[in-house]
Amino acid sequence: MKREEIVQKLSSAYQSYNSYVKDLTGDEFEYAPDGKWSAGQQTEHLIKSTKPLLNGLGFPKFVLKSKFGKANRPSRSYEQVVDRYKEKLEQGGKATSPYVPGKVPAAVQEKLCTELTDIIEKMGKKIEKWSEEQLDEFILPHPLLGKITVREMLYFTTHHAAHHQLLIKLYLKGV
């Protein structure tokens, strides 16, 4: 997937997520089955997980290289990244503490959706400053997937919105 398509798919995934979450009632936004996250918490989790990437995309490349190294393999495809993520979840992988949300009241529903939209728009602008080669050359740490290329991180981030949107739908259906 080329850079422009990544930006488009990322934007589309989060627009879809936000559109769905904005249409939830306050009760739906706060509803969480036992041991699961509410739609509000899912949204806060997405914010907590996209902010570090937004920041990382803005760092000078030499800082990323010195801190995390460079890729020693080609980037995986979108499908391979998604499959690897699902595999990690099936093995019991869960969000690590910096990405775990607190209690999220319905009163912040609109604010969180706006914040998430803003992060993704800014991310799109930062991605445009990366070359195709750089997306495959530089790596970033992912709590479950380990060190992955920037391109793979963007694939993951795109899938992440759809993953959490599906969870909310399933929870609200009682699945």
Instruction: Please report the pLDDT score of residue 174 as a whole number.
Output: 83
Is the pLDDT at 71 greater than 80? The verdict is: yes
Helix residue ranges per DSSP H, the chain:
3-22, 26-30, 39-58, 61-68, 78-90, 109-127, 132-137, 150-173
Is the pLDDT at 175 greater than 80? The verdict is: no
Instruction: Please report the pLDDT score of residue 23 as a whole number.
Output: 96
Is the pLDDT at 18 greater than 90? The verdict is: yes
Contacts of 125 (CB under 8 A, 6+ apart): none
pLDDT tens, 122-162? Answer: 999 999 999 999 999 999 999 999 999 999 999 999 999 99
Task: Kindly state the tokens that stand for 163.
Answer: 């993953």
CA distance 89 to 72: 25
Is there a contact between 3 and 128 (Cβ–Cβ < 8 Å)?
yes
Superfamily of domain 3-173: dinb family like domain (1.20.120.450)
pTM value is 0.95
Radius of gyration of the chain (CA): 16
Domain segments of the chain: what residues? 3-173
